Amino acid sequence: MIDRADYSAEAAEADFDEEAIVPDVLAGKRLDQVLAQLYPDLSRNRLQGWIKSGRVLVDGQTVVPKHKVLGGERLRLDMSPDPDQMPYEAENIPLDVVFEDEAIIVINKPAGLVVHPASGNWSGTLLNGLLHHDPALAGVPRAGIVHRLDKETSGLMVVARTLSAQTHLVRQLQARTVSREYAALAHGDVVTDGVVDAPIGRHPSQRTKMAVIPSGREAVTHYFVDRHYVECTLLTCRLETGRTHQIRVHMAHLGHPLIGDQVYGKRRCSNEVLMNFPRQALHARRLGLNHPLSEQSMSWSADVPEDFAQLLRLLDSGNTFNAG
Protein backbone atom coordinates (compact mmCIF):
# COMPACT_ATOMS: atom_id res chain seq x y z
CA MET A 1 0.00 0.00 0.00
CA ILE A 2 1.15 3.54 -0.70
CA ASP A 3 1.59 5.57 2.46
CA ARG A 4 -1.35 7.99 2.46
CA ALA A 5 -0.41 9.75 5.69
CA ASP A 6 1.02 12.83 4.00
CA TYR A 7 -2.06 13.73 1.92
CA SER A 8 -3.14 16.17 4.63
CA ALA A 9 0.20 16.53 6.40
CA GLU A 10 0.30 20.29 5.92
CA ALA A 11 -3.32 20.92 6.91
CA ALA A 12 -3.89 23.14 9.91
CA GLU A 13 -6.10 22.11 12.79
CA ALA A 14 -8.73 24.44 11.36
CA ASP A 15 -9.31 21.80 8.68
CA PHE A 16 -11.24 19.70 11.24
CA ASP A 17 -14.72 20.79 10.26
CA GLU A 18 -16.93 18.34 12.20
CA GLU A 19 -17.22 17.83 15.95
CA ALA A 20 -19.09 15.31 18.09
CA ILE A 21 -19.14 13.99 21.64
CA VAL A 22 -19.00 10.23 22.19
CA PRO A 23 -22.30 9.18 23.81
CA ASP A 24 -21.90 7.35 27.10
CA VAL A 25 -23.97 4.47 25.73
CA LEU A 26 -21.15 3.72 23.28
CA ALA A 27 -18.50 3.40 25.99
CA GLY A 28 -16.24 0.40 25.46
CA LYS A 29 -16.69 0.28 21.68
CA ARG A 30 -13.94 0.72 19.09
CA LEU A 31 -13.57 4.19 17.63
CA ASP A 32 -14.34 3.01 14.08
CA GLN A 33 -17.56 1.37 15.36
CA VAL A 34 -18.53 4.56 17.17
CA LEU A 35 -17.97 6.68 14.05
CA ALA A 36 -19.97 4.22 11.96
CA GLN A 37 -22.94 4.74 14.28
CA LEU A 38 -22.53 8.50 14.48
CA TYR A 39 -22.07 8.86 10.70
CA PRO A 40 -24.09 6.02 9.08
CA ASP A 41 -23.83 7.62 5.63
CA LEU A 42 -20.06 7.08 5.56
CA SER A 43 -18.49 3.70 4.86
CA ARG A 44 -16.52 1.89 7.57
CA ASN A 45 -13.50 1.71 5.23
CA ARG A 46 -13.51 5.45 4.68
CA LEU A 47 -13.79 6.15 8.40
CA GLN A 48 -10.97 3.73 9.18
CA GLY A 49 -8.85 5.43 6.53
CA TRP A 50 -9.52 8.82 8.07
CA ILE A 51 -8.49 7.53 11.50
CA LYS A 52 -5.26 6.00 10.14
CA SER A 53 -4.33 9.17 8.23
CA GLY A 54 -4.80 11.45 11.23
CA ARG A 55 -8.07 13.01 10.09
CA VAL A 56 -9.86 12.06 13.33
CA LEU A 57 -8.83 13.43 16.72
CA VAL A 58 -9.99 12.07 20.07
CA ASP A 59 -9.59 14.78 22.70
CA GLY A 60 -7.01 16.34 20.42
CA GLN A 61 -4.99 13.16 19.86
CA THR A 62 -4.65 10.78 16.92
CA VAL A 63 -5.42 7.13 17.70
CA VAL A 64 -5.80 3.80 15.90
CA PRO A 65 -9.17 2.48 14.61
CA LYS A 66 -9.37 -0.17 17.37
CA HIS A 67 -8.99 2.43 20.12
CA LYS A 68 -11.77 1.90 22.67
CA VAL A 69 -13.66 4.94 23.86
CA LEU A 70 -14.75 5.67 27.41
CA GLY A 71 -17.64 7.96 26.58
CA GLY A 72 -17.68 11.72 26.68
CA GLU A 73 -14.61 12.21 24.49
CA ARG A 74 -14.59 15.10 22.04
CA LEU A 75 -14.21 13.97 18.44
CA ARG A 76 -12.99 16.21 15.64
CA LEU A 77 -13.07 15.10 11.99
CA ASP A 78 -11.45 16.47 8.86
CA MET A 79 -14.21 15.72 6.33
CA SER A 80 -12.62 17.53 3.39
CA PRO A 81 -12.90 15.69 0.06
CA ASP A 82 -10.75 12.63 -0.53
CA PRO A 83 -7.94 13.77 -2.89
CA ASP A 84 -8.13 10.56 -4.92
CA GLN A 85 -11.84 11.06 -5.69
CA MET A 86 -11.85 14.75 -6.65
CA PRO A 87 -12.04 15.80 -10.31
CA TYR A 88 -8.94 17.95 -10.73
CA GLU A 89 -8.48 20.42 -13.54
CA ALA A 90 -5.52 20.59 -15.90
CA GLU A 91 -3.44 23.74 -15.42
CA ASN A 92 -0.69 25.11 -17.61
CA ILE A 93 2.10 24.85 -15.06
CA PRO A 94 5.64 24.70 -16.53
CA LEU A 95 7.29 21.35 -15.83
CA ASP A 96 10.99 20.52 -16.07
CA VAL A 97 10.74 17.15 -17.84
CA VAL A 98 14.03 15.27 -17.58
CA PHE A 99 12.82 12.14 -19.41
CA GLU A 100 9.62 10.72 -20.81
CA ASP A 101 8.45 7.83 -22.93
CA GLU A 102 5.22 5.86 -23.25
CA ALA A 103 5.48 4.49 -19.69
CA ILE A 104 7.01 7.11 -17.40
CA ILE A 105 7.79 10.79 -16.96
CA VAL A 106 10.71 11.97 -14.83
CA ILE A 107 10.24 15.48 -13.45
CA ASN A 108 12.73 17.83 -11.79
CA LYS A 109 10.35 19.50 -9.33
CA PRO A 110 11.14 23.04 -8.22
CA ALA A 111 10.95 24.10 -4.59
CA GLY A 112 7.61 25.68 -3.76
CA LEU A 113 5.50 23.36 -5.91
CA VAL A 114 3.02 21.14 -4.03
CA VAL A 115 2.90 17.62 -5.49
CA HIS A 116 -0.71 16.61 -4.83
CA PRO A 117 -3.82 18.69 -4.03
CA ALA A 118 -4.80 18.73 -0.37
CA SER A 119 -6.39 21.07 2.13
CA GLY A 120 -5.22 24.61 1.34
CA ASN A 121 -3.73 23.60 -2.02
CA TRP A 122 -6.53 22.37 -4.27
CA SER A 123 -4.93 23.82 -7.43
CA GLY A 124 -1.55 24.92 -8.72
CA THR A 125 0.04 21.56 -7.95
CA LEU A 126 2.27 19.18 -9.87
CA LEU A 127 -0.78 16.95 -10.41
CA ASN A 128 -2.63 19.82 -12.13
CA GLY A 129 0.41 20.48 -14.32
CA LEU A 130 0.72 16.80 -15.23
CA LEU A 131 -2.91 16.71 -16.40
CA HIS A 132 -2.15 19.60 -18.75
CA HIS A 133 1.09 17.99 -19.95
CA ASP A 134 -0.66 14.66 -20.65
CA PRO A 135 -4.48 14.66 -20.48
CA ALA A 136 -4.47 10.84 -20.58
CA LEU A 137 -3.14 10.88 -17.00
CA ALA A 138 -6.70 11.64 -15.90
CA GLY A 139 -7.30 7.90 -16.32
CA VAL A 140 -4.49 6.93 -13.93
CA PRO A 141 -4.97 7.20 -10.14
CA ARG A 142 -3.31 10.33 -8.73
CA ALA A 143 -2.34 11.23 -12.33
CA GLY A 144 0.41 8.62 -12.12
CA ILE A 145 2.11 9.98 -8.99
CA VAL A 146 3.67 7.13 -7.00
CA HIS A 147 5.88 9.02 -4.56
CA ARG A 148 6.27 12.62 -3.60
CA LEU A 149 8.53 15.37 -2.36
CA ASP A 150 7.67 17.98 0.24
CA LYS A 151 6.57 21.34 -1.10
CA GLU A 152 9.88 23.07 -0.38
CA THR A 153 12.07 20.13 -1.42
CA SER A 154 13.32 20.21 -5.00
CA GLY A 155 14.43 17.40 -7.27
CA LEU A 156 13.60 14.26 -9.19
CA MET A 157 10.32 12.37 -9.20
CA VAL A 158 8.97 9.64 -11.45
CA VAL A 159 5.37 9.58 -12.70
CA ALA A 160 3.64 6.60 -14.33
CA ARG A 161 1.73 7.19 -17.59
CA THR A 162 -0.29 3.97 -17.42
CA LEU A 163 -1.93 1.91 -14.71
CA SER A 164 0.40 -1.04 -15.37
CA ALA A 165 3.46 1.21 -15.12
CA GLN A 166 2.13 2.66 -11.88
CA THR A 167 1.63 -0.81 -10.41
CA HIS A 168 5.16 -1.77 -11.47
CA LEU A 169 6.69 1.33 -9.86
CA VAL A 170 4.71 0.90 -6.64
CA ARG A 171 5.99 -2.66 -6.36
CA GLN A 172 9.55 -1.43 -6.85
CA LEU A 173 9.06 1.10 -4.06
CA GLN A 174 7.69 -1.61 -1.81
CA ALA A 175 10.65 -3.86 -2.67
CA ARG A 176 13.02 -0.93 -2.03
CA THR A 177 14.64 -1.27 -5.45
CA VAL A 178 14.09 2.39 -6.34
CA SER A 179 17.21 4.36 -5.42
CA ARG A 180 16.79 7.95 -4.19
CA GLU A 181 19.72 10.16 -3.29
CA TYR A 182 19.50 13.66 -1.83
CA ALA A 183 21.82 16.58 -1.22
CA ALA A 184 21.18 17.98 2.26
CA LEU A 185 22.77 20.78 4.25
CA ALA A 186 22.51 20.19 7.98
CA HIS A 187 23.17 22.34 11.02
CA GLY A 188 26.31 21.61 13.00
CA ASP A 189 29.29 19.34 12.46
CA VAL A 190 28.21 15.86 11.36
CA VAL A 191 31.43 14.08 12.19
CA THR A 192 31.16 10.93 10.11
CA ASP A 193 28.93 8.83 7.86
CA GLY A 194 26.12 6.90 9.48
CA VAL A 195 22.64 5.45 9.33
CA VAL A 196 19.45 6.36 11.16
CA ASP A 197 17.15 3.40 11.78
CA ALA A 198 14.29 4.94 13.74
CA PRO A 199 10.52 4.52 13.22
CA ILE A 200 8.52 7.54 12.09
CA GLY A 201 4.87 8.29 12.73
CA ARG A 202 2.49 11.17 13.22
CA HIS A 203 3.58 13.48 16.04
CA PRO A 204 1.43 12.59 19.09
CA SER A 205 0.18 16.14 19.62
CA GLN A 206 1.09 18.20 16.53
CA ARG A 207 -0.62 16.58 13.55
CA THR A 208 1.20 18.70 10.96
CA LYS A 209 4.48 17.13 12.07
CA MET A 210 6.03 13.69 11.99
CA ALA A 211 8.28 12.34 14.72
CA VAL A 212 10.45 9.42 15.72
CA ILE A 213 8.09 7.37 17.89
CA PRO A 214 8.16 3.70 18.97
CA SER A 215 4.80 3.00 17.31
CA GLY A 216 5.88 4.52 13.99
CA ARG A 217 6.64 2.75 10.72
CA GLU A 218 10.12 1.48 9.92
CA ALA A 219 12.31 4.26 8.51
CA VAL A 220 15.97 3.97 7.47
CA THR A 221 18.17 6.80 6.17
CA HIS A 222 21.84 6.45 5.21
CA TYR A 223 23.90 9.63 5.28
CA PHE A 224 27.41 10.43 4.05
CA VAL A 225 29.53 13.49 4.79
CA ASP A 226 30.50 15.40 1.64
CA ARG A 227 31.93 18.60 3.10
CA HIS A 228 32.30 20.33 6.43
CA TYR A 229 31.57 24.02 6.69
CA VAL A 230 31.60 26.37 9.65
CA GLU A 231 28.35 25.60 11.54
CA CYS A 232 26.95 23.17 8.94
CA THR A 233 27.70 20.01 6.96
CA LEU A 234 26.87 19.06 3.38
CA LEU A 235 25.52 15.50 3.24
CA THR A 236 24.42 12.90 0.76
CA CYS A 237 21.34 11.07 2.08
CA ARG A 238 20.03 7.83 0.64
CA LEU A 239 16.59 6.53 1.46
CA GLU A 240 16.00 2.88 2.23
CA THR A 241 12.37 3.64 3.09
CA GLY A 242 10.20 6.59 2.10
CA ARG A 243 8.26 7.99 5.05
CA THR A 244 6.75 11.44 5.19
CA HIS A 245 9.45 14.06 5.97
CA GLN A 246 11.89 11.19 6.57
CA ILE A 247 15.24 12.92 6.03
CA ARG A 248 14.08 16.07 7.82
CA VAL A 249 12.84 14.10 10.83
CA HIS A 250 15.85 11.79 11.02
CA MET A 251 18.43 14.57 10.81
CA ALA A 252 16.58 16.58 13.46
CA HIS A 253 16.50 13.42 15.58
CA LEU A 254 20.31 13.29 15.34
CA GLY A 255 20.52 16.91 16.49
CA HIS A 256 21.41 18.15 13.02
CA PRO A 257 18.22 19.59 11.50
CA LEU A 258 18.36 20.83 7.93
CA ILE A 259 19.25 24.42 7.19
CA GLY A 260 16.10 26.41 6.45
CA ASP A 261 13.66 23.82 7.79
CA GLN A 262 10.89 25.87 9.37
CA VAL A 263 9.22 22.83 10.96
CA TYR A 264 12.05 20.66 12.29
CA GLY A 265 15.06 22.96 12.09
CA LYS A 266 14.54 25.85 14.52
CA ARG A 267 18.16 26.14 15.55
CA ARG A 268 20.14 29.34 15.94
CA CYS A 269 23.60 29.90 14.50
CA SER A 270 25.83 32.94 13.97
CA ASN A 271 25.85 32.73 10.15
CA GLU A 272 23.07 34.98 8.84
CA VAL A 273 23.30 33.38 5.39
CA LEU A 274 22.28 30.06 6.92
CA MET A 275 19.61 31.60 9.13
CA ASN A 276 18.02 33.45 6.20
CA PHE A 277 17.80 30.52 3.78
CA PRO A 278 14.03 30.40 3.15
CA ARG A 279 13.42 26.65 2.74
CA GLN A 280 14.85 23.33 3.83
CA ALA A 281 18.15 22.77 2.04
CA LEU A 282 17.15 19.44 0.53
CA HIS A 283 17.32 18.36 -3.11
CA ALA A 284 16.57 14.94 -4.67
CA ARG A 285 19.50 14.81 -7.05
CA ARG A 286 19.56 11.17 -8.21
CA LEU A 287 16.82 8.69 -9.03
CA GLY A 288 17.26 5.12 -10.19
CA LEU A 289 14.75 2.39 -11.08
CA ASN A 290 13.96 -0.48 -13.43
CA HIS A 291 11.94 0.65 -16.43
CA PRO A 292 8.38 -0.75 -16.17
CA LEU A 293 8.42 -2.06 -19.75
CA SER A 294 12.00 -3.04 -20.55
CA GLU A 295 13.09 -3.84 -16.97
CA GLN A 296 16.29 -1.99 -17.90
CA SER A 297 18.04 -0.23 -15.04
CA MET A 298 17.85 3.52 -15.58
CA SER A 299 18.99 6.54 -13.58
CA TRP A 300 18.83 10.30 -13.77
CA SER A 301 20.53 13.19 -11.99
CA ALA A 302 19.72 16.85 -11.47
CA ASP A 303 22.03 19.53 -10.12
CA VAL A 304 20.93 21.47 -7.06
CA PRO A 305 18.80 24.50 -8.05
CA GLU A 306 20.22 28.01 -8.11
CA ASP A 307 19.18 29.02 -4.58
CA PHE A 308 20.89 25.97 -3.10
CA ALA A 309 23.91 26.39 -5.40
CA GLN A 310 24.27 30.04 -4.41
CA LEU A 311 24.17 29.09 -0.74
CA LEU A 312 26.98 26.57 -1.30
CA ARG A 313 29.03 29.15 -3.23
CA LEU A 314 28.73 31.58 -0.33
CA LEU A 315 29.83 28.86 2.07
CA ASP A 316 32.70 27.85 -0.22
CA SER A 317 33.99 31.40 -0.12
CA GLY A 318 34.47 31.00 3.63
CA ASN A 319 36.43 28.55 5.73
CA THR A 320 35.78 25.01 4.46
CA PHE A 321 37.60 21.72 4.05
CA ASN A 322 36.77 18.59 2.14
CA ALA A 323 35.54 15.52 3.97
CA GLY A 324 37.96 12.65 4.34
Q: How far is CA 37 from the centre of its chain?
A: 33
Does 226 qualify as catalytic in the annotation?
no
**Catalytic residue chosen out of the listed positions 15, 78, 150, 261:** 150
| Alpha carbon separation from 120 to 4, 26, 29, 83 (Å, rounded) | 17, 34, 34, 12
In this structure, the dihedral spanned by the alpha carbons of residues 169, 173, 177 and 182, taken in order and rounded to 10 degrees, is: 110
**Please, are residues 103 and 291 in contact by the beta-carbon 8 Å criterion?**
yes
Task: Please identify every residue annotated as catalytic.
Answer: 150
